[in-house]
Amino acid sequence: MTKQEKVEFTIQTLNDLFPETPIPLEHKDPYTLLIAVLLSAQSTDKGVNKITPILFGIADNPYDMIKLTVEEIRDIIRPVGLSPMKSKGIHGLSKILIDKYNGEVPNTYEALESLPAVGHKTASVVMAQAFNIPAFPVDTHIHRLMFRWGFTNGKNVVQTEKDAKRLFPKDLWNKLHLQIIFYGRLYSPARGWDLDKDIITNTIGRKTVIKDYLKNKK
């Protein structure tokens, strides 16, 4: 297969398996999505979705959020981990949204990444999922699969994002990044990987990856 044929095979397979791509993190607007994505760092969507109804039941907008202390926020979000950093970030960014953006979440990378505890990946998710602006957030699943499929050298997430944006049509980015995440969780996990179930890697995967898998399976 040529590189373009591999890309087309990947897109078609993902569309067949995941024609619908619901957003995994429960939210109702850009602000609650921003907070949910921030909370998901080094945590699971399932874990975050257990906490956000409690947090948003008390404060689902920046004006109510800053009425809470950092300590009160930390007590609520403690189960998702990294609560000291995340609670300071949530309180700090909420105040900035009020002071600089009339309580609204901005829709530019520059503005989002200037907020406390908001990195490029979080900003990309908000751009894609809250504002439907083409973005390609790279999480551990996408980073792993892009390497397994031979679409990136796997050195870092910055390079993986550049390669993904270069290979895949821009109008597919927002849906495709979710499809790859779903695929990674079900068919190509980091642990307990079964190559027989991983149709994309089995068909187009990097030869060294498959060779290492087979060697370790013996």
Verify whether residue 64 is a known catalytic residue: no
Catalytic residue among 60, 86, 121, 198: 121
Report the distance separating Cα 140 and Cα 154, nearest Å.
11
> In the numeric block, which tokens belong to residue 213?
């898998």
Among 151, 116, 114, 155, residue whose Cα is nearest residue 8: 151
In whole angstroms, how far apart are CA 189 and each of 2, 49, 192, 196? Answer: 25, 21, 7, 13
Catalytic residue among 139, 162, 165, 175: 139
Instruction: Scan for tokens 């975050």, then name that residue.
Output: 48
Helices 30-39/45-58 angle, 10° precision: 130
φ/ψ region of 132 (left if φ > 0, alpha if ψ in -120 to 50, else beta) reads left
Verify whether residue 139 is a known catalytic residue: yes
Is the C-alpha dihedral spanning 70, 122, 94, 65 positive or negative? negative
Among 188, 106, 94, residue whose Cα is nearest residue 144: 188
The residues annotated with a catalytic role in the active site are 121, 139
